[in-house]
Structure 1
Amino acid sequence: MKSPISQVPTDEDQFVSLDGALADESKLELLEYWRSITKRKWGILLLGLVFAMAAAAIVYSLSPVYRSTTTVLIEQGKSNLLSIEDVYSGISQAKEHYQTQVEILKSREVAARVVRDLRLWEYPEFDLRKAEEGGVAKLKASLGFGAVKQEATEARLADAAVDMFSQQFSVEPVRLSQLVKLSFESKDRKLAMLVANATAEAYIAADREARFKMTQQANGWLQERTQSLRDKLLSSERTLQAYRDKSGIVTLSGSAQTMISQQIGEVTQRLVEAKARRAEAESAYEQMKSIVDGDYTSVPAVLRNPSVADARRQEAVASQKVAELQQRYGFEHPKMTQALSEQRAAKESLQRQSQAVAQGLTREYESARSTERAMEGALASARGTVQSVNRQEFQLSVLDREVQANKQLYDLFMNRAKETNLGGDLQGSVARVVDEAVVPYAPVKPKKIMTIAVALVLGLLVGVLVALLLDQLDNTVKGIEDAERRFQQPVLAALPELGSKEGAQAITMFVDKPESYLAEAVRTARTGVLLTDIDLPNRILLVTSSVQGEGKTTVSANLALAHAQTKRTLLIDADMRRPQIGRRLGLPLEAKGLSNLVSGTVALKDCIHCIKGSMLDVMPVGDLPPNPLELLLSSRFSDTLSGLAKQYEVIVIDSPPVELVSDALVLAPMATRTIYVVRAMQTPHPLARKGLVRLQRSGAKILGVVLNHLDHSKSQRYYGDYSGYGAKGYAGYGYTKTKNA
């Protein structure tokens, strides 16, 4: 026969699926949470009631606090007169102005004004001396933690009252409006109303005083500035007049500039005319200079002279007369002589007239040149005068503009000083009271019903969280449904929790008390075994667990007793380290058993013992071997087990726990099926799951899980009516109830 270790299955797909099914833990569903809550519902309710009672004791011991509220309208005051904000910072935006006023309402200055006006330190609630004389202060002083006691001056009391005031005062802007609610909380209802109204009045008074103070400061600054501007205006006017006197300027209307412009125009016109006359005279003069013989009659300018033209006409007449007489008479004729004489006289007259005209043209040319030079000089002088006047008028306009600017600035500041002074007297307040505070009749703190309700809900929530946390920390198996969900294996039966007295006798309870819960559970497990592998003529059942104390020996014995009623059954104790079956079934201590049979020292008949009152054969451990694992790994053990399987229809093997030793891992491949025993409410499910995985890896065929020591009442709190036969189910079938732990 092959070694048990070599019998590990090679079907990787089946191995991986089983391993993964056990390794992946599914998440708890809402139903699991609900079961956790209902399981501890009375504890959760009790915790909620404790919270509510504690809250009630606290809130009913506290003094009631009253709140009184006054409503103030904050306006962005805009009068027709100049506001002081315009002098300092210009026009503010409405939103910024509103937020600024809200912050001013929260300021310490307003709080200090209210404290001083009402002398709040004289009220017990704001009296620092009362707090220093209290029990807490005395305890701190006795422990050395208290501050050095100071003299209770009025200033110190006022400062302390301001701090207390700030803690009890609140400002709440009303959305989408310019309204602000000023609320004050106090143990004295009348004081709450008084302080709320006084705060609004103090804020309005403080604003009025601030505006008046700023107006006075602005008025003084404007007056000082106006006086400076007045002096500057007078100085500029004196400078302007001095310049007028120095420059000889009578008017600033521009007439001097106009007169000089007209004079320049006239001189220019005369200069043009003089240039024309000079050019004409110069032309005639140049023509006369070209005459050598002194006959100027060929000069056009001379010929145009009336006297020369008349003399030339007479000379022509005389010459014509001579020509006519010459044809009639001779040169000696007296008429001829007279005509010649007249002709000579006419020529001489023409010569004299042309010379006189030529001399006159020369003088006219020189006169025209002199006149031209004079006109040019006058024009240059007029131009210089214009430039000088332009410079004077430019300087004059500068001084005049300075005078006008100073005058306008002076008038502006004078008007603003008057408007500011008048505006300071007429400017209204930035706020007004819309709704005054009244004496409150209902306290706002503590809200007893709400506080108690919140405490109750909080206690219930804490209880629920604790319940869920306890379930999360509790990793034991709670019941059949929990076992099947966590192990992914069928639960063959759920054995009930027994008392200590019955537990000591539970190994044979199937035959001793056949109508007990345990007996019925064992019958259920036997049915599950018989319905598995129906065609097998012989079955070898290995019963094991994770650790000691889970009841595997009790399950093995009772399951073997159940099978012994219908089949030839053998119960083998394979726990060679801590054997239990022989002792608990009442066999002699020296009774031979498995180790003797495998070693070959004792015959089979001497190793098998019958149990009184049943058909069950039992094979105890016998003599404890020094090396149990080597014994189980030997071929003699395999051969022995095979031989026994031929003689018995059912063999039930009680093996050691999986987590303590590896004996069960060696025995599991030899068995037809393996039954895993888990103790409810005690065995951690990761530990049991680990044992199942190790068995599957060794080649074991898991038949199912037997849940032992199950307290049905606790299991019902977890999962209601469990899938197996619960306490009610057993009673319904007529089974009598045994004592449960």
Structure 2
Amino acid sequence: MNQNSRTVPDADQPFVSLGGGLSEESKLELLEYWRSITKRKWAILGLGLLVALLAAAVVYSLTPVYRATSTVLIEQGKRKVLSIEDVYGGMSQEKEYYQTQVEIIKSREVANRTVRGLRLWEYPEFDPRKPDTSLIGKAKEALGIKAEEVAWNEDRLVAATVETFSKSLSVEPVRLSQLVKLSFEAEDRQLAALVANAVADAYIGADREAKFSMTQQANDWLQQRTQALRDKLATSEKALQAYREKQGIVSLSGSAQTVIGQQIGEVTQRLVEAKARRAEAESAYEQMKSVRDGDYSSVPAVVRSTAVGEAKRQESTAALKVAELQQRYGSEHPRMVQAQSELKAAKENTLRQMQTVAASLTREYESARATERALEGALSSAKGTVQNVNRQEFQLSVLEREVESNKQLYDMFMNRAKETHESSDLQSAVARVVDPAVTPRLPVKPKKSQVIAIALVLGLFAGVLIALLLDKLDNTVKGIEDAERRFQVPVLSALPELGAAEGKSAMTMFIDKPESHLAEAVRTARTGVLLSNLDVPCRILVVTSSVPGEGKTTVSSNLALAHAQTKRTLLIDADMRRPQVARRLSLPPTVKGLSALVAGTARVEECIFTVKGSPLAVMPAGEVPPNPVELLLSQRFRETLDALARHYEVIIIDSPPVELVSDALVISPLATSTIFVVRAMETASPLVRKSLVRLQRAGANVLGVVLNHLDFSKSQRYYGEYSGYGKSGYEGYGYGQKKNAA
């Protein structure tokens, strides 16, 4: 069989990744979590019980603490005799008010009153003078550090006790109500009830005193303010009276402005009429002045005159008489002369009447003008008088308002002062106790059963977390399923963990103990090898691992013994750095082997030996060469391998570990397949994946993985695998009967 007849990976074939096994490890599934828990269930249960026992020891050593609760009702604004908020600027919102009262209950003032009233430092639990029994105090005592001497008096005792008192007091408002629960915890059950009630009484007493003090302050302030207002009122009244006397005002009360207003209205009306008359007179006067010849007959005002009209009527009568006589008599007739004389006298009378009316128009115009000017002067004088009166009344109103305002303030403060004085000894409390505290029967701390139960649960939970964390940190291979999931390559078989005595004869255990676990596992691996590359006349297998100590030499030897039962098989020890085959098969240390055959210093017959009790041929490594890698890379090694392949059907090569040297990376491309040995529960899976990647990149055909040193009972307990690989399982195949028959 030549090299070309073997199935050797093409050097130009691209590298095929191992898939998800080479990426970051996937998360454990729910079943794996459950397996992690169940495999350490007794340890988890033990941790939980241990934590519960420790918690029980602690809680039973603690002193029980009792809690007493007093319920207080806070009443906002009920039965209030004095509205002090009117003086101090209003009340807070209801929610803020109750919260304020709760904070007052927690205040140091209430605590001081309670501690001082009960002389709480006389109780051992709250006595600040007792020795410090805490861990820090014991440490100081052990180190010889003495506490500073304190000259105790009542004030210092109160101040020191208040700190411990405040830690034991809790104030809790009841939601959607006006109730507040005052709770106090103490080792003495009677003291707990006594203090809870004393806190409520101290709060109510402090509130009553605060109200009384506030009322007294308000009363003093009101008295001072009332006296000041009294003086101010007297001053303003004096100023008002002085102004009245100075201005000569008896009592206006609006009458002066009314009379003057009526006068102004009358003068204004007369002024309007006077202006109309003046305008009419002025029109007639202008028409009269336009007459140049003294004939005023064209002036309407003259024509409308009664006297002028009567004169014109007489003139018309005289003219008519002349006209009648003229027809009857001549111009010299006496009657005619008399009629003409009468006509002439009538005309003169008419002219005279017109002139008289024209002269009266002039006088009427001048009189209208004078009347208008007089009325205008009277109106201006009246307006000035009104303005003076307005100014006087404005100043008077200011003084009267000031007097009235001072009088109202004085009356209000006088009434409030009287109310405050009358109610100074009558103050309703802001709160009252609706449910006084009673002596408790059962302690509230420690809750022993609850603490122990919680400790047990926490212990179990911590145990589960630790178990999951250990499995998460443990990156070794646990079994076949784990190996296939991590490496994404088939698992050919799993060899069992051997004891120290069996490990010495493990090289030939396949033929020494054919009914053993290891022998059956080797048969399984042999089946996997025979089912691969069925058409290849010679199978060359390279067996390697990541690091030394994983059992690759044992696997190589037993796998070769298994193949030797049916095929011509050769086992070659190619680990020329730390050869193990010759020594473990009890061959002489000076025998020749692979190094001498490749170097040409020995023949094939001199380098091949037979295992006792088996037809297996073995070629040891021989003398360790100075340059093993160069020897394996040489053409002589390839030719030697081809020559051996023509005589054997199966050649198994035990090569060095991948992570230490590169010998396996040189040999594996020349082989049909590569078998990778992994030590279960010891070799780190990232290291195995790295070695597999290096083999693939070198061109090796990784046939599968063999798990070695696997504890079947532990795997069965942890993962539910290998249930058929127990002792009874192997006896079922008939190996036990054969041994007994032999």
1:15 counterpart residue number: 15
Deviation at 1:717?
3.0
User: For the residues of structure 2 that align with 1:635 and 1:709, how far apart are their CA atoms?
Assistant: 37
Q: Could you tell me how far 1:722 is from its partner in structure 2?
A: 3.0
The letter of the residue matching 1:549 is G
Q: Which runs of 5+ in 2 are unaligned?
A: 290-299, 314-355
CA contact (8 A) 1:567 1:649 kept: yes
Alignment correspondent of 1:572 = 572
Amino acid at match of 2:695: L
Q: Which residue of 2 aligns with 1:619?
A: 619
Deviations 1:79-115, CA, capped at 9 Å, x for gaps: 5755222321313221221222222222222212211
Shift of 1:12: 8.0
Q: Which residue of 2 aligns with 1:658?
A: 658
1:240-255 aligned at under 5 Å gives the runs 240-255=240-255
Residues 10, 307 of structure 1: alpha-carbon distance in 2 compared, 3 angstrom cutoff: closer
- State the 1:15 CA deviation: 2.9
Task: Show CA shifts across 1:284-327 (max 9, x none).
Answer: 999999xxxxxxxxxx99999999999xx9xxxxxxxxxxxxxx
- Match of 2:522, as an amino acid? V
Tell me how far 1:177 sits from its aligned partner: 2.2
Which residue is 1:521 aligned to? 521
Gap regions ≥5 residues in structure 1: 290-299, 314-355
Query: Following TM superposition, by how much is the alpha carbon of 1:503 offset from its aligned partner in structure 2, in angstroms?
Result: 0.6
Deviation at 1:417, TM superposition (A): 3.4
Specify the alignment match of 1:27 in structure 2: 27
Quote the residue 1:94 is aligned against.
94
The one-letter code matched in structure 1 to 2:116 is R
1:104 matched to 2:121? The reply is no
Q: What is the CA–CA distance in structure 2 between the aligned matches of 1:438 and 1:262, rounded to whole Å? A: 88
Q: CA deviation at 1:433?
A: 2.1
Residue 442 of structure 1 aligns with an amino acid whose one-letter code is: L
Contact 1:83 1:423 in 2 (8 A): no
Distance 1:282 1:647, change over 3 A: closer
Equivalent-residue separation in structure 2 for 1:227 and 1:523 (angstroms): 122
- 1:248, CA displacement in angstroms? 1.8
Deviates more, 1:369-378 or 1:153-162: 369-378
1:535 equivalent in structure 2: 535
Structure 2 CA distance for partners of 1:123 and 1:12, relative to 1, 3 Å: farther
Structure 1 residues 497 and 93, CA gap change in structure 2 (3 angstroms): same
Using the alignment, how far apart are the partners of 1:428 and 1:735 within structure 2?
103
**How many Å apart are 1:46 and its aligned residue?**
1.2
C-alpha distance in 2 between matches for 1:404 and 1:506: 125
2:453 aligns to what? 453
Q: Alignment partner of 1:494: what SS?
A: strand
Q: CA shift at 1:376, angstroms?
A: 7.2
Pair 1:550-2:550 in alignment: yes
Quote the Cα distance in structure 2 between the aligned partners of 1:548 and 1:271.
140
Distance 1:109 1:199 in 2: 11
Aligned residue number for residue 442 of structure 1: 442
* Cα distance change on mapping 1:241 and 1:605 into 2, 3 Å: same
Give the AA of the match of 1:428: S
Give the superposed CA RMSD: 4.9
Q: What SS is found at the alignment partner of 2:646?
A: helix
d(CA) in 1 for partners of 2:482 and 2:143? 57
- TM-superposed CA distance for 1:392, in Å, is 1.9
2:406 equivalent in structure 1:
406
TM normalised by structure 1 equals 0.84
Give the Å deviation of 1:430: 2.3
Going from structure 1 to structure 2, the CA distance change for 1:139 and 1:506 (only over 3 Å counts) comes to: closer
- Please give the residue correspondences for 1:300-319 in structure 2 after superposition, counting only pairs within 5 Å: none
Q: Give distance in 1, aligned partners of 2:630 and 2:370.
A: 161
Q: What is the rounded CA distance, in whole Å, between the counterparts of 1:598 and 1:277 in structure 2?
A: 161
Shift of the alpha carbon at 1:16? 2.6
Residue 710 of structure 1 is matched in structure 2 by: 710
Q: CA deviation at 1:566?
A: 1.7
Residues 105 and 171 in structure 2, CA contact (< 8 A), matched pair in contact too: yes
In structure 2, C-alpha distance between the alignment counterparts of 1:649 and 1:116, rounded to whole Å: 105
How many Å separate the matches in 2 of 1:368 and 1:646?
Answer: 165
Sequence identity of aligned pairs in percent?
72
Residues 594, 620 of structure 1: 8 Å contact kept: yes
Deviation at residue 440 of structure 1 after TM alignment: 0.9
User: Deviation per CA, 1:415-473, whole angstroms, max 9, x where unpaired?
Assistant: 34344555655553222222221111111111111111111111112111222222222
Give the Cα–Cα distance (whole angstroms) in 1 for the partners of residues 305 and 22 of structure 2: 153
Q: Is the 8 A contact 2:494 2:706 kept in 1?
A: yes
Q: CA deviation at 1:261?
A: 4.2
Which has the higher mean CA deviation after the structures are superposed, 721-730 or 627-636? 721-730
- Segment drifting more, 186-195 vs 138-147: 138-147
2:663 & 2:500 partners in 1: Cα distance?
Answer: 29
Aligned to 1:471: 471
Helix, strand or coil: the match of 1:647?
coil
Which position in structure 1 is the counterpart of 2:152?
Answer: 152
The offset of 1:531, in angstroms, is: 2.1
Q: Name the counterpart of 2:327.
A: none
Contact 1:490–1:704 (Cα < 8 Å) also in 2: yes
* Residue in structure 2 matched with residue 140 of structure 1 by the alignment: 140
Distance 2:241 2:607 in 1: 152
Aligned to 2:348: none
Q: What's the secondary structure of 1:700's corresponding residue? A: coil
The within-5 A match list for 1:588-603 is 588-603=588-603
Aligned pairs for 1:382-393 (under 5 A) are 382-393=382-393
- Separation (CA, whole Å) in 1 of partners of 2:245 and 2:433: 67
Alignment partners' CA distance in 1, 2:304 and 2:695 = 161
Query: What does residue 113 of structure 1 align with?
Result: 113
Contact 2:7/2:672 (<8 A) preserved: no
Distance 2:602 2:305 in 1: 194
Quickly say closer, same or farther: Cα 1:10–1:357, change in 2 above 3 A: closer
Residue 65 of structure 1 and its aligned partner are, at CA, apart by 0.7
- In structure 2, how many angstroms separate the alpha carbons of the residues matched to 1:123 and 1:109? 21
Cα 1:368–1:174 shift into 2, 3 Å: closer
Amino acid at match of 2:699: G
| Cα pair distance change 1:617/1:284, threshold 3 Å | closer
Quick check: 557-566 or 84-93, which moved more? 84-93
Instruction: Pick closer, same or farther for the CA change 1:131–1:108 going to 2, 3 Å.
Output: farther
CA distance in 2, matches of 1:572, 1:41: 47
Instruction: Go from structure 1 to structure 2 and tell me whether the alpha carbon gap of 1:21 and 1:382 turns closer, same or farther (over 3 Å shift).
Output: closer
Counterparts of residues 313-352 of structure 1 (less than 5 Å): none
Partner Cα distance (1:287, 1:494) in 2: 153
CA 464–377 in structure 1, closer or farther in 2 if over 3 Å, else same: closer
Residue pair 2:39, 2:717 contacting (<8 A) in 1 also: yes
Mapping of 1:178-189 within 5 angstroms? 178-189=178-189
Would the aligned equivalents of 2:282 and 2:365 in 1 still touch at CA under 8 Å? yes
Q: Secondary structure at the match of 2:525?
A: helix
Q: Distance in 2 between matches of 1:251 and 1:653?
A: 141
CA distance in structure 2 between the aligned counterparts of 1:505 and 1:365, rounded to whole angstroms: 166
SS at match of 1:16: coil
Deviates more, 1:73-82 or 1:463-472: 73-82
Measured at CA, do residues 375 and 727 of structure 1 come closer, stay the same or move farther in structure 2, by a change above 3 Å?
same
Matched residue, 1:337 = none
Provide the aligned length of Structure 1 versus Structure 2: 733
Which amino acid is the alignment partner of residue 102 of structure 2?
A: V
Separation of aligned partners in 1, 2:386 and 2:106: 73
**Deviations 1:224-277, CA, capped at 9 Å, x for gaps:** 222222221221111111111222211132223334445556677888999999
Q: Aligned pair in 2 of structure 1 residues 668, 267: CA closer, same or farther (>3 Å)? A: closer
Please give the secondary structure, in 2, of the residue aligned with 1:130.
coil
- The secondary structure found in structure 2 opposite 1:137 is helix
The 1:617–1:409 alpha-carbon spacing in structure 2 relative to 1, beyond 3 Å, is same
Q: Does the CA-based 8 Å contact 2:495-2:709 persist in structure 1?
A: yes
In structure 2, the residue matched to 1:195 is 195
- Aligned amino acid, residue 545 of structure 1: S
> How far apart, in 1, do the equivalents of 2:269 and 2:514 lie?
160
Q: Normalising by the residue count of structure 2, what TM-score does the alignment of the two structures yield?
A: 0.84
**Cα pair 1:51 1:459 within 8 Å, conserved:** yes
Distance in 1, matches of 2:548 and 2:265, equals 141
Give CA-to-partner distance per residue, 1:195-214, whole Å, 9 cap, x none.
11111222222222222222
Given that 2:271 and 2:372 are in contact with CA atoms closer than 8 Å, whether structure 1 keeps it comes out as yes
Question: What's 1:690 paired with?
Answer: 690
Q: Distance in 2 between matches of 1:287 and 1:435?
A: 113
Q: Deviations over 1:517-536 (max 9, x none)?
A: 11221122222222222333
Rounded to whole Å, the distance in 2 between the matches of 1:148 and 1:72 is 41
Distance in 2 separating the partners of 1:548 and 1:395: 120
1:113–1:736 Cα change, 3 Å = farther
* Letter in structure 2 aligned against 1:55: A
